[in-house]
Every structure is written in C-alpha cells, then in structure tokens.
C-alpha cells in the first residue's frame, strides 16, 4: 500500500512540475525593452542639441561599452557524485560512487531540458547468512532526461526519469549476477557556483516503476559536483 502511495504521489509531482515548466516556457523574459526614441540627439540646457551619450566616442566616457556575450543555448557537462542507499537497499548496497555525462539545452532563461547517462558503482556490503558472510555488489547505469527550472539566477530545481539498468551480484557459492531494468525518478536542486560549476543534491528512486510483484521501492540520497562546458 505504501509502495502504491509513493508511486502515485511522485507521479503527480512530476506531472505538476512538467505542467509548470510548459507554462514558464511561454512567458516572455522579464524586463522588456523600452523604446529608445531616435537616439540621435538630446536637448542641451540652452535649447541646442548635442549628440546622445555613447555616440561619436565623446559623450559617455569616450568609448562604447562592449556588447554582453549571449549565454550558450546548448551546453555539455560532466559530474561526479556520491549516492547513499537508504532502508532495505542500504542493507545490501554500500556507498555509491559515480560519474555522469550529459547535455543541457536552454529553452529560455527559466527553463532548460537536460539528458544524461552515467555509471554508479556501489561498494560491496556484507551480510551474515547462517553464520556465513555474503558480500553483495550493486551497479547502476541510469539513462535519463528531464527539466531544470531556474527559480533564482543561481538556484535550479530538476526532475529526471528514463531507464535505470541495475546489475547485482554476490559472492555466495553458486550465485549468478542478475540484471534488471527499471524506471527511476530523481528530484534534486543545484546551486551554480559560477557560470560553469555547480553543486547539487537530491533524492533518487532507482526502481519506481517496472518492478516485480512484491518488490519494494528503494531510495538513495545523492550529492554531486558538476562542470558545464
């Protein structure tokens, strides 16, 4: 029952987030431009006219200000992350160490689309079974896409989903590695340290959907450091 409530709640959250993104995408950038007039002359105090500031290289400091560089619409990035399994998953999977590579496409100053692929390796975790220590290992390959919202110039909120390939194994005698494919969900926030570097953290549900009967939804919390080119 709890598993079903979690699925419905998160699916509703993701739907609301995407709807908000669509609405934001239609908004015009804040701070619209005002008419500049003819921009050629300005009245002087004696009723004559003088060149407008910035013209002719004299008024306005003698030099024209350089045009601001337009932000890149398409950017690529890499990130390193740490993932800490929670609950039952934490009993069989250790700390996850991963790397991600992806792309970010800016629709407007508030909304961007993102996609990435990565590899997360969880350190082995041992459990005692009938007096024998059995070591478990988990590896994840997330292939996901999602949205990013700039709620502030430096603060972005994101949500991602796609597919997650999980490969688990143990050193128990006669055991074989098992590979499963699940639909995950990530909800996270990132803070831009500057134009290229960001730090972030969030919640990762590696097996939200496509689960087998009786399989519980697992959860991890993660933190990452990323660099955009």
Report pLDDT digits (tens) over 126-162: 887 777 888 999 999 999 999 999 999 899 999 999 9
Cβ-Cβ contacts under 8 Å for 118 (sequence gap 6 or more): 79, 81, 98, 99, 100, 101, 141, 142
133 is a domain residue: yes
47 is written with which tokens?
Answer: 């009723």
CATH number at residue 9: 2.40.160.20
43 in a structural domain: no
Give 142 or 67, the one with higher predicted confidence. Answer: 142
Decide: pTM greater than 0.85.
no
Domain annotation covers residue 44? no
Judged on CB neighbours under 10 Å (0-12, 13-18, 19+), 51 is: middle
Domain that holds residue 165: 2-19+71-228
164-208 pLDDT, tens digit per residue, is 999 999 988 878 899 999 999 999 999 999 999 999 999 999 999
Residue 218 domain-assigned?
yes
161 belongs to a structural domain: yes
Tally of structural domains, the chain? 1
């Amino acid at each position: 029952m709890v598993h079903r409530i979690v699925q419905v709640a998160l699916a509703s959250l993701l739907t609301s987030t995407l709807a908000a993104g669509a609405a934001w995408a239609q908004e015009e950038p804040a701070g619209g431009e005002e008419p500049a007039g003819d921009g050629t002359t300005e009245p002087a105090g004696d009723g004559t006219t003088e060149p407008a500031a910035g013209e002719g290289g004299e008024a306005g400091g003698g030099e024209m200000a350089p045009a601001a560089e337009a932000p890149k619409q398409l950017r690529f990035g890499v990130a390193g992350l740490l993932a800490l399994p929670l609950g039952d998953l934490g009993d069989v999977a250790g700390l996850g160490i991963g790397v991600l590579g992806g792309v970010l496409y800016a629709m407007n100053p508030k909304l961007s689309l993102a996609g990435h692929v990565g590899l997360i390796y969880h350190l082995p975790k041992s459990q005692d079974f009938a007096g024998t220590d059995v070591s478990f290992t988990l590896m994840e390959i997330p292939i996901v896409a999602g949205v990013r919202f700039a709620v502030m110039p430096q603060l972005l909120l994101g949500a991602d989903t796609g597919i997650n390939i999980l490969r688990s194994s143990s050193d128990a005698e006669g055991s074989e590695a098992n590979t499963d494919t699940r639909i995950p969900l990530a909800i996270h926030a990132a803070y831009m340290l500057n134009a290229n570097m960001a730090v972030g953290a969030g919640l990762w549900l590696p097996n939200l959907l496509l689960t087998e009967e009786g399989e519980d939804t697992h959860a991890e919390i993660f933190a990452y450091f990323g660099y955009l080119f």
